[in-house]
A and B are shown apart, each in its own frame.
Chain A
Amino acid sequence: MLELVGIGRRYRVDGGEVRALADIDLVLPKGSFTALVGRSGCGKTTLLRILAGLESPSEGEIRRPAQAGPLRIGVVFQEARLMPWLDVRGNVGFGLHGRLPRHETAARCTAALDLVGLSAFAGAMPGQLSGGMAQRVAIARALVLEPEVLLLDEPFAALDAFTRRAMQNELVGIWQRRKPTVVFVTHDVEEAVLLGERVLEMQAGRIVGRENIELPYPRDPTAPEANRYRRTILARLMADPAAARPEPAALS
């Protein structure tokens, strides 16, 4: 379980101050699947970076259960972020290198490449991949770590509709099998409803709404129940007065 208590994050920008996050109270139960929706600039990536330990909050704290080793966290960033000097296989195994016996790393990479449908490109260099392919490599790179916490930042935004659906199903499958704690950032409400056990709505750095999606997996995004959730969430996000204003809450 991960618990965020009163998390806030401010950035100094151009003499002034931007409040990227404010008063975030959030419990992520072990093995849960949380989808985070909100418009561009509302602080989704910032929240994910704080969860990943890449950024420290300006206020508040993150509570983790005491455990033996460090938490294994897998992150899929908004961009692929592949190492241009490594081939696809090298990139997928990047985080395992030197930590596992060679044959085990190789086996995991092969399985992950198979999962994202890139077995034929194991020897390709990042420069030779399309945007969607590169993003799938990045997903495989996070999955081979067998993370306890999996953080994904709009991971499927660069994929075509068909690959996207296939990857969404795969993600649900992996989650059901291995039960990592998943936080999935998206600005697509349909995707959030399709994937999340619950959907958190963000606006201007705050969590402004929560919806538990009581639908069995695998879900059908076109089912009337799914549509109902979608409509409720969208209506709330659009009705919020802050939605009329595209910028995040800026303080001076």
Chain B
Amino acid sequence: MLRPITIAVFAAVIGLWWLAGHLGWVSAFLLPAPATVADTMGDLIASGELARHSLVSLRRVSLGYAFAITLAVPLALLFVLSRPLRATFEPLLEFLRQIPPLALMPLLMLWLGIGETQKIGIIVLSCFFPIFLGVRGGFAAVDRKLIDVGTVCGFARPEIMLRIVLPSALPAIVVGLRIGLGYSWRALVGAELIASSAGLGYMIVDAENLARTDIVLAGILVIGALGLAADLLLRLAIRTLAPWLAGDLEMARA
């Protein structure tokens, strides 16, 4: 998975970053050197601060993401099964979908405070729609011609659902899950930047207030790395559970 070219690209970016400081293109305050950031990262790891903030953020994302799935999947299934429900609530959902979750932050803070509930609320808001739409779209796009194959085999409805409709819908569902995961991670860090007392986003604003750009950069790198790791984990799970979906996943780079 980690090809030489990938390593070369990352190395080149770090090299450029180092060069920028070394040749004095930017001040060491605005862009601390890679070595400084690495040192800071070491300190943050040694003091346990990085682990603490990361764990807080990861816990929020896991909870929020799991909660969003338990909310979005059944709701989407209801929508798939009931045309009246669709007709009634579709416009409302379409309206809600247009609102960026972070725009709801002020209200959420008033309603839920700035504790865990509000963070998880933001995550649910940000990844509900990708998951919901993935499930809905997956079921809507099932090929009638494949259902015919089950019908002539004498399958009853439950068997058609389980053996034809569900596997057909899976690619879109998986894509929705992947997009949702990315959204939730980004929304969380955003929420932590605005109002929080722990988490990677908080670590960054706190460092900014102390004029510690090295910590800011270290935090940014960790956020990127953890997001990437979560995505890789999801892809790995799918690759092992449903290898035929591996190709469909590439649509999900959102």
Contacts and interface: CB of A to CB of B under 8 A. Distances in A.
Nearest to B149: A81
B152 A53 contact: yes
A183 B245 CA distance: 37
Main secondary structure of the interface of B (DSSP, over half): helix
A94 B148 contact: no
Given A70-B154, A73-B152, A85 B145 contact: no
A83 B242 contact: no
B222 to A, nearest CB: 37
B75 interface: no
Interface string A36-70: 00000000000000001110000000000000001
Interface string B180-197: 000000000000000000
B226 interface: no
Contacts, number: 39
B27 interface: no
Report the interface size class on chain B. 10 to 19
Contact of B151 (A53, A72, A79): A53
B244 A125 contact: yes
A216 B6 CA distance: 68
B242 A85 contact: yes
A24 interface: no
A81 B144 CA distance: 10
Nearest to B153: A95
Nearest to A138: B149
30 contacts: A53-B151, A53-B152, A54-B148, A54-B152, A70-B154, A72-B154, A73-B152, A74-B152, A75-B148, A75-B149, A75-B152, A77-B148, A79-B145, A81-B145, A81-B146, A81-B149, A83-B146, A83-B149, A83-B167, A85-B167, A85-B242, A85-B244, A85-B245, A94-B153, A94-B163, A95-B153, A95-B154, A97-B163, A125-B244, A145-B153
Interface of A: 52-54, 70, 72-75, 77, 79, 81, 83-85, 94-95, 97, 125, 145
Interface of B: 145-146, 148-149, 151-154, 163-164, 167, 170, 242, 244-245
